[in-house]
Chain A
């Protein structure tokens, strides 16, 4: 490690989202209500480009907080506004919040975007993009995918798909295209420029039926074209497939992550691309570790790949039940800094060294 900071939150979180000015947002997912949404300001050392050693200010500051009765399973800031949206069981509606006005540090609940209730315990996945201001792409199943303009509370797009398959994740590739990933692994691409549109489906990768999948896309850098990184999919068995949507519908490369088998459920699967390192992605959700892989050497064989770095911090800390990493995210500016949170409430910020 070059640097490692460990913090303890009062309640574990499964979301870490970045906001303007290097701020970070976390939220609790307890079932019994009283969950807090916290907007944190990282210590100066983590905001600056260079790493400093003994900085006087080493703590996260809680800039603002709000209370949510629902567990927060997904949270996204709405670009160009001072709003954020959250979602969680028991239904697929979205909760809209207003982040700190000048005179108060409370994150207030503003409104709810209701949706037709999907059957079962599904909750909405959310995506936003800086290319299209207050648009929020959300849905819990393929047939309920829509885009809502949050400030006007208007529906802007509805995916025309009769298929009620459960969604594992969705993301904007750019201002006009969105990719949807089903829980069973199938990818669909949607053109969101029209209010209603058919989805273009891509076949699911070859994998046992029982596997569940999740999606990882690169956030388009400012001003660059549509996602230059392929779309990554991670299965609950550790199979990773990369698909370049512009070129072909077949996965361009795949490998298997070194994970304990069998996978311990797909609740917290998370895969994400490093914004500043070409071809680097991180994987978590199987145990108390976060793996970093270099995908540039991968081919399409699906062989097991060696991680170039493993963060074991969460697994070592706890004394009771081993912690499960719930989410991780890369620092937008510092190339090798990663934030990860686990089910025991720990929050780690680590800067790894390239071997």
Chain B
């Protein structure tokens, strides 16, 4: 049976890095190539030796697909393509292609410069890796080769995140990456059509949670910012250039307007330029509301939000500043942090995950004394808050997506098996599909039932139609024909036509059987006896006595001869063709029973 094989090299049953190998109809595709953020050694990379022990990855893999720019989905890509070795195509959406190298470079800097690692990819490797990337648009069918095609769907979650459909012939797999089914302030909700894939691979990180409403989170965020500003403190919000930052800006702007607040809000200029540039390119990726604001005015021409200048950090009084980079590991956000850390009236709000080794990570884990360059100790008295607006699908969202796509099987990654038993049962009960939850390194095989189209010759069809009643869905009709398979086409034709096309002569099969009968009379008398006997028994068949002394029953020939050695025994030669097999064997057994005594 044709099968689809899925092996998670990372994800499977832990959250950390996503890297899934899919084998479909002879094609091998790698989905995502993530880095595990928790480990510092080789465990952070997926185990690529699993793919192929010897032999080059480029030969084995047909393509690599990256769903979005988060490091746990693309962090190991340069290592994979430049250090392990892969030269084939890498597919991702345009925003992902633009943003990935920035994040990878950031990550590389932290790991190598700050932590002093040596076995890591270089800046040049990142650049070389990105040269192998082919960017795709949403809903655009991309032919990877003659048989393999892929298509990206909108996934929400972050800018540029996509779900991918991988199709070979009539077998298909949909990989969701990380997605979100509820729209937020700057991104829409994931959407897919009723593509009915054989398999849907979905993440289930948040499947077992019931999320707090966004309004509550936002309300709490605004409350914290307000309290700090009211008592004269400064709020630092380290952000990555694109995505959440815009959402928070809109949130603050509306709040400031409503509460008539006077404290200034600043946005880092370097950020603004880059962000603007990217936003112009990727405006189709954000949701309606942002698009409208962008059309009406420049994204960063807010009434209350101004461009930031380094000197402002020293200004007295309350203010709110958005600055990059997001993990406080370098650059402007770190500079501002150093200036403000000593005052307990100030606050820093971390809006997302921070990699180990960064200042962001350290303060979130509770460290309050940090070692800076030149052995300086920085005492952190400012309030440290963490708030995550990251959007993942919960159980309701997963059910929604399955309802939209209508897959025949579901495979869950990114969750713990024990905790997903309930979800597995829920999916199986509601949709009557099988649900799989493989562990890392475990291969799941899914059997598919592809339909193979076969052309039928007109002649054969006409002939069949002439015999008997028309075929009915409830009464299938058995039909005989010859299947010709040439290249990728299948044709059903009559045997005669097949022979003709192939230039073969038809063979005739003939059976002969000898039946011994005790009969001392002359041969022609025996023949007469046989003839009369058969005529009497086989009333529905045409039994004829031919002038040459032989008998025919339909097209079966019976001849009688005397036995060479024994005159009392007659030998009946019964001969029939393959087509008359049934009648032939019946006749033979009949004759073997002997002739009745009295004959006329």
Contact = CB atoms under 8 A, between A and B. Distances in A.
B430 interface: yes
Given A10-B395, A10-B396, A54-B221, A60 B418 contact: no
B425 A67 contact: yes
Nearest to B214: A6
Given A53-B385, A54-B221, A106 B425 contact: yes
Interface stretch (B32-40, B203-211, B582-590): B203-211
Nearest to B396: A10
Nearest to B425: A106
A208 interface: no
Interface of B: 206, 208-213, 215-217, 219-221, 223-224, 349, 385-388, 395-396, 399, 418-422, 425-426, 429-430
A306 interface: no
A65 interface: yes
Contact of B421 (A60, A61, A104): A104
B426 A36 contact: yes
Interface in A107-129: 107
Contacts of B208: 61-63, 105
Contacts of A106: 421-422, 425
A80 to B, nearest CB: 25
A8 B430 CA distance: 20
Given A54-B220, A67-B425, A59 B349 contact: no
Interface in A179-221: none
Interface in A49-76: 53-54, 56, 58-67
B210 A7 contact: yes
Contacts of B206: 59
B112 to A, nearest CB: 29
Contacts of A4: 216, 219
Interface of A: 4-10, 34, 36, 40, 43, 53-54, 56, 58-67, 103-107, 347
A7 B212 contact: yes
A54 B224 contact: yes
B237 to A, nearest CB: 12
16 contacts: A5-B213, A6-B215, A7-B212, A7-B213, A34-B430, A36-B426, A54-B220, A54-B387, A58-B212, A59-B211, A59-B212, A61-B208, A62-B210, A62-B422, A63-B419, A65-B426
Nearest to B422: A65
Contact of A53 (B213, B220, B429, B430): B220
A53 B223 contact: yes
Contacts of B349: 54
A44 B388 CA distance: 15
A9 B213 CA distance: 11
A7 B388 CA distance: 16
Contacts of B221: 54
A118 to B, nearest CB: 31
B220 A7 contact: no
Nearest to B182: A8
A5 B223 CA distance: 14
A143 to B, nearest CB: 38
B216 A56 contact: no
A67 B429 contact: yes
Nearest to A103: B418
B395 A6 contact: no
A284 B127 CA distance: 63
B422 A64 contact: yes
Contact of B216 (A6, A40, A64): A6
Given A10-B396, A54-B349, A104-B418, A60 B425 contact: no
A347 to B, nearest CB: 8
Nearest to B424: A106
A59 B389 CA distance: 12
A67 to B, nearest CB: 7
A53 B425 contact: no
A8 B386 contact: no
A53 B216 CA distance: 11
Contacts of A5: 212-213, 216
Given A5-B216, A10-B396, A54-B385, A40 B210 contact: yes
A61 B349 CA distance: 24
B421 A43 contact: no
B13 to A, nearest CB: 14
Contact of B209 (A62, A65, A66): A62
Nearest to B211: A59
Contacts of B388: 56
Contacts of B217: 58
A8 B210 contact: yes
A59 B220 contact: no
A6 B217 CA distance: 10
B213 A6 contact: yes
A221 B219 CA distance: 35
Contacts of A40: 210
Contact of A34 (B209, B210, B219, B429): B429
A194 B206 CA distance: 50
Nearest to A59: B209
A105 B418 contact: yes
A18 B183 CA distance: 33
Nearest to B394: A59
